[in-house]
Amino acid sequence: MKNLKLFLESIEKTLPSHVTLNQALIKTLKLNKDAASRRINGKTPFTYSEACALSKAYGINLTPAQSNQFSNVVFGYVPFKSKHVDSKHFFQTISGLLLEMTTQKKAHLLHVAPEVPVYHCYNYPKLLNFRLFYWGKYLLNNPHYSKRVFNEVEIDATITKHAKKAYENYCLVPSTEIWTPQTIQSILSQLHFCIETGDFSNQSEVESVLQEVSQMMQQIKQMAEENNKAFDHDKKINVPFLFYKIDVNINTSNLLAIMDTQKVSYQQFNAINFMSTTQSDFCEENLEWIQNIQSKSSLLSGAGIVERQRFFNSVTKQINEFKEGLSKLDFG
């Protein structure tokens, strides 16, 4: 009964003053007056389809935990199983989020990133193609990749177009990112793994990906220097970019989207997919955790010149050392 009361109260809050709860149920569920009253009084339980219809009609979260007395949290996600490879297959969750955030008046994206966030790769076709290849072949066992080496997977123009648009949206959303010492290593270790497994035919294939890694890092550095994600935008606009580094490794990728009327928490699973929830208590706790990590991190954007230079010099050194070591590796 407690869950029913919370659910019905949530619906009532969305109704115009001239519409009663009984009238809303009659209209949405195609019930008569008596059947609607029995459901409101708890004498007749709502069916699952009825609850879903009301949730969709009035934008009500079916999560029972809208108060502190509950601990269950309901997450939604986009399944990869049985999907064909297309422009939205691997990154529709994040690209869809970025698009939605561009429509908000007060949006902010917070991300604790133990590996390079995929949206930074959206503007670099070869780098994105490599990450899709690695994820598809070794983490998802996708048949499109499983029996191929890297040079047999052509860059998909549709994916590239979709990704570039998503990157443009990313550059319009104010954000806070916290990188760890292992963040850049996420890409370098994947490259090294694919060299050892024979997925690269020659050194130049790896170097072409590394070149875009360097270009990506240069772009991030400029964003941090300007404290503005849209520093090179045609129109003169300012999109705040708070870039932090923390000196300890954190294995949890944590992303929180703050929007006009709600917060959405994204938890990563299966390597590249995300499950999300708008449950308010969970999102608030998630925000507090990110802010705690932020307080223990060093701000590199804006005025942190020395720390910023030291950080990006370290990243450049790691990339260069990896590139220099390629000559010692056997490409078969």
Q: Are residues 323 and 193 in the same domain?
A: yes
68 belongs to a structural domain: no
70 belongs to a structural domain: no
pLDDT at 251: 84
pTM: 0.78
Both tokens of 171, joined, read 């550059």
Q: Are residues 50 and 107 in the same domain?
A: no
Q: Residue 26 pLDDT > 90, yes or no?
A: yes
Q: Are residues 138 and 46 in the same domain?
A: no
17 belongs to a structural domain: yes
Q: Are residues 149 and 215 in the same domain?
A: yes
Backbone angles phi, psi at 248, to 5 degrees: -120, 155
- Provide the domain limits for residue 265: 78-328
pLDDT at 83: 54
Q: Are residues 239 and 190 in the same domain?
A: yes
185 belongs to a structural domain: yes
Q: Are residues 129 and 258 in the same domain?
A: yes
Top-confidence residue, 55 or 176 = 176
DSSP string, 238-249: --BEEEEE-SS-
Q: Are residues 14 and 113 in the same domain?
A: no
- Single-letter residue type at 125: P
Q: Are residues 129 and 214 in the same domain?
A: yes
The Cα–Cα gap between 204 and 210 comes to 10
Q: Contacts for 211-214 with beta carbons within 8 Å, 24 or more apart?
A: 211/126, 212/124, 212/125, 212/126, 212/127, 213/124, 213/127, 213/184, 213/187, 213/319, 214/316, 214/319
Q: Are residues 142 and 28 in the same domain?
A: no
64 belongs to a structural domain: no
**Range from 10-24, 41-55, 77-91, 313-327 carrying the lowest mean pLDDT:** 77-91
The pLDDT mean for the chain works out to 87
**Range from 27-36, 71-80, 192-201, 244-253 carrying the lowest mean pLDDT:** 71-80
Mean pLDDT over residues 211-239, rounded?
Answer: 91
Report the domain count for the chain.
2
Q: Are residues 172 and 274 in the same domain?
A: yes
Q: Which of 164, 162, 168 is nearest to 86 (CA)?
A: 162
CB-count burial class (<10 Å; 0-12, 13-18, 19+) for 205? buried
pLDDT at 113: 94
pLDDT at 86: 43
Q: Are residues 106 and 178 in the same domain?
A: yes
Q: Which of 304, 177, 147, 189 is nearest to 253 (CA)?
A: 177
**Range from 37-46, 177-186, 215-224 carrying the lowest mean pLDDT:** 37-46
239 belongs to a structural domain: yes
211 belongs to a structural domain: yes
305 belongs to a structural domain: yes
Q: Which of 257, 277, 272 is nearest to 91 (CA)?
A: 272
Q: Are residues 123 and 240 in the same domain?
A: yes
